[in-house]
Amino acid sequence: MPKLSSAMPASTDIVICGGGIIGLSLALELQRRGAKVVVLEQSATRAEGQASWAAAGMLAVDDPHNPTALHDFSRWSRGLYDEFIARVEGLSGLCVPFQTQRTRQWTDDDRVIELAEQSLNPRELMRALEQAVPQSGVTVVRGARVVRVEDDADAVRVFDADGGAISARSIVHAAGAWYAGAPAIKPSKGQMLRVRLALEDVHRSAAMYIAPRHFGEQAGTALVGATVEDVGFDTTIDEATIKRQLQQASELVPAVRDAEVIEVWSGLRPTASDLLPVIGGLPGKPQQWIAGGHFRNGILLAPGTAVAMADALEGKGLPQVVKRFIPR
C-alpha cells in the first residue's frame, strides 16, 4: 500500500483529498490549467461503497424534486459535460456513452412529463477518469490515509497515518461522506439493484427511478433505486428493502415485477444539512477549500464543480452560479 512518505513528492501546488468523481474531475481541470496536482485517496483499490461508483448517472437538470437552489448550477454544469466527456475519453482511450436520451417524470400530482435528459453509466465514467487523470500527469496515491492538515502562513502540510508529509499551496477536501471537518458532511445510504429489463427511457418519481442501460457491459438491464437512509457508514443490504423497491418500481413499470435481479449494492452519498453542495474556501483557513455535499447530483455537478473550484484556486473567484454554496 503506497505511503505519503515514500510515494509522494515533498511538495506540490495543490493536494486534493479524495479520488471520487469530484476530486478526479477537479484534478483534471487544474492540470489542464498548468497546476501540479496530487490526489490522495484512502482506498487502496476502487471502493464499492462510494457515491461515484454506486450512482445511477442521471443528468437530472430538470428533476422537479431537486432543490430549486440547484437549478442554475445544474444547467451550467450540464453545459460543460460534452467537452468534459470528450477530454476524459481522449486521455483514457475508453468510451463513456450516454445511455439514455429521455426521462419520463412522474410529478407529485400523478402527471407524467417527458424531459430531454441524458444519463450515463458512472462506473464507465469512473474507470475512464481513473485512466485519464494519471495519463494527464496528475499524481494519484491510493491507500493514503490523511490524519492531519496544518496551516502555515502561505501553505499547508498534509500528514498521513505514518507521519509522512507533503507541502502544498492549497488543499481541496473532496472526500465525500468521509470528510470529517466543518461544515458537517454526513453519509446518506442508498440501496439499489439492477434487473434484466429492456427499457427505452428513464422512469422517475419522487421516491423511485428506473434507469436503463443500452450500451456496454450492462446493456439490456436497468437500475432500480434508491433509498435515502441516515444510518451512518452502514452499507449492508436489507432484503425487505430491496423487495419494497421492486414493488414501488413495478408501479411505474409493471415489467419490473417479473424481472431477474442481477445485482444489489449500496453507496454512501455525501450530504450536508440543507441537501446542497458546499463549495469554496473554508472560513478562517485561507489555504483550505472544500468541494463536497453533492448528495444525489455528484455525477451531474462534477464538471461545474471542477471549473468553479479551479477558477477560485487561480484567484478569479467562484462563478456567480456557485456562490450560493460557499461554506459559512
Q: pTM of this prediction?
A: 0.95
Q: Which amino acid is at 297?
A: N
Confidence of residue 275 (pLDDT cuts 50, 70, 90): very high
CA 239 to centroid of chain Cα atoms:
26
pLDDT, position 161: 84
pLDDT > 50? residue 3: no
Query: Which residues touch 63 (CB under 8 Å, ≥6 apart)?
Result: 105, 115, 204
In sequence order, the β-bridge partners of residue 222 are 195, 212
Q: Mean of the per-residue pLDDT values for the chain? A: 94
The DSSP letter of residue 58 is: B
Give per-residue pLDDT as tens, 84-124: 999 999 999 999 999 999 999 999 998 999 999 999 999 99
pLDDT, position 163: 79
pLDDT > 50? residue 282: yes
| Domain boundaries 4-325, corresponding CATH code | 3.50.50.60
**Mean pLDDT of the 236-251 span:** 97
**Residue among 280, 302, 312 nearest 133 (CA):** 302
pLDDT, position 257: 95
Give the helix ranges, DSSP H, for 149-200.
none
**Residue among 310, 273, 274 nearest 289 (CA):** 310
**Mean pLDDT of the 244-255 span:** 96
Place of cell 415489467: 255
pLDDT, position 162: 75
Identify which has the larger pLDDT, 47 or 113.
113
pLDDT, position 46: 61
